[in-house]
């Protein structure tokens, strides 16, 4: 009588990944005449990840008493991806999860022509959730000049402690790499509109990029909104004009400065004021060349106020104050003027 025993009967073992590591202990209800044992031990490096990250399955042990017919190993990752067959020499398999959810991973071992199978209890699921963190621009837009740009400030809060890197894709083709403790960062944008995204990273890889808001660098083509001259309470008194002042405001890029030019005259004489020498200079139409020092460009304070001092005013003259407001984009609102007769 032939004492050989059938070896074609395959054993199938589904290994659950419980508490990170599970082991198959061979066939349940194995017939007394069967030969060979098939079992394996597998570990997941994590069962809690962020959306877009990956887990790695590692085979730490494989027991196969019939190595002449290598076991087939397949992994069902629990999502909609196809069941994966591992190469014969592979001891690791990696899988990325693109959507939030709970996914049970199953490893199946088969050998030869399977006639029966034994399945152990399913292991715990891989939990996939969105990474924490809030990202936004402190302002959503800013003004610039033609051909210029604007510096945007991105605020970051609530970044998880176990994130090791933070990637910011600015939407203009450039990317910044930050540490996990950064609470803000800046970026210079040319004119245009951009959508930024933030990606976190740790040992499980990078997360799905998260929207961080949009930013627009807009060209300011509008002139300053207002420019005024403050008239003294006693405008006909020369001493009242010792300091000439006013206001100027811009609603887009902001004010740069106000240009001031001063004139005084009588019926027979004309003078312009030289701000460098702080003196009045006689002016002859068609002959006198007006220098740059005849115009003083004055900055404005936080309230939009500008001031300029002038000396040498006295009664008997007409005083003319010319002024123009200029914003930081180079837009001017046109020269304005006031003429005042000084009688005292």
Cβ-contact 109, 13 below 8 angstroms: yes
- 9-129 with 226-341: one CATH topology? yes
Q: What is the DSSP-derived secondary structure letter of residue 289? A: P
Task: Give yes or no for residue 27 having a pLDDT over 70.
Answer: no
Q: Which residues contact 227 (CB under 8 A, 6 or more apart)?
A: 246, 247, 248, 258, 323, 324, 325, 333, 336
Determine the topology of domain 134-219 in CATH.
Immunoglobulin-like (2.60.40)
Q: How far is CA 334 from CA 145, 253, 254, 279, 325, in A?
A: 18, 18, 16, 26, 7
Global pTM reads 0.76
Q: Residues 38-63: pLDDT tens digits?
A: 888 888 999 999 999 999 999 888 88
Task: Give yes or no for residue 5 having a pLDDT over 70.
Answer: no
Domains of the chain, by residue range, sit at: 9-129, 134-219, 226-341
Average pLDDT score over the chain: 87
Q: Residues 160-207: pLDDT tens digits?
A: 999 999 999 999 999 999 999 999 999 999 999 999 999 999 999 999
Burial of 295 (0-12, 13-18, 19+ CB in 10 A): middle
Q: Does domain 9-129 correspond to CATH entry 3.40.50.300? A: no
Length of the chain: 344
Q: Which residues contact 337 (CB under 8 A, 6 or more apart)?
A: 320, 321, 322, 323
3-state secondary structure of 130: coil
Query: Where does 226-341 sit in CATH, by number?
Result: 2.60.40.10
């Amino acid at each position: 009588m032939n004492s050989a025993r059938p070896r074609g009967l395959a054993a199938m073992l589904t290994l659950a990944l419980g508490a990170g590591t599970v082991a198959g202990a061979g066939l349940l209800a194995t017939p007394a005449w069967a030969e060979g044992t098939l079992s394996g031990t597998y570990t997941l490096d994590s069962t809690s990840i962020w959306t877009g990250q990956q887990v790695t399955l590692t085979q730490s042990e494989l027991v196969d008493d019939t190595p002449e017919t290598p076991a087939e190993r397949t992994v069902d990752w629990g999502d909609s991806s196809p069941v994966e067959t591992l190469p014969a020499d592979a001891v690791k398999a990696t899988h990325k999860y693109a959507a939030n959810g709970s996914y049970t991973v199953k490893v199946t071992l088969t050998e030869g022509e399977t006639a029966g199978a034994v399945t152990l209890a399913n292991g715990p699921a891989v939990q996939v959730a969105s990474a924490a963190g809030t990202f936004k621009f402190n302002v959503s837009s800013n003004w610039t000049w033609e051909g210029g740009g604007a510096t945007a400030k991105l605020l970051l809060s609530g970044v998880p402690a176990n994130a090791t890197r933070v990637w910011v894709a600015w939407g203009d083709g450039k990317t910044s790499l930050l540490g996990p403790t950064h609470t803000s960062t800046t970026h210079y944008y040319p004119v245009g509109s951009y959508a930024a995204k933030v990606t976190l990273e740790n040992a499980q890889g990078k997360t799905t990029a998260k929207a961080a808001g949009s930013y627009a660098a807009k060209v300011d083509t509008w002139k300053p909104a207002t420019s005024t001259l403050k008239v003294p309470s006693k405008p006909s008194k020369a001493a009242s004009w010792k300091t000439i002042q006013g206001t100027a405001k811009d609603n887009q890029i902001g004010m740069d400065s106000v240009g001031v030019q001063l004139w005084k005259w009588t019926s027979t004489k004309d003078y312009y004021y030289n701000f460098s020498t702080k003196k009045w200079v006689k002016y002859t139409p068609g002959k006198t060349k007006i220098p740059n020092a005849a115009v003083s460009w004055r900055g404005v304070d936080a309230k939009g106020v500008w001031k300029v001092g002038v000396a040498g005013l006295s009664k008997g003259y007409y005083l003319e104050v010319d002024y123009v407001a200029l914003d930081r984009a180079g837009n001017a609102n046109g020269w304005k003027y006031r003429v005042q007769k000084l009688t005292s």
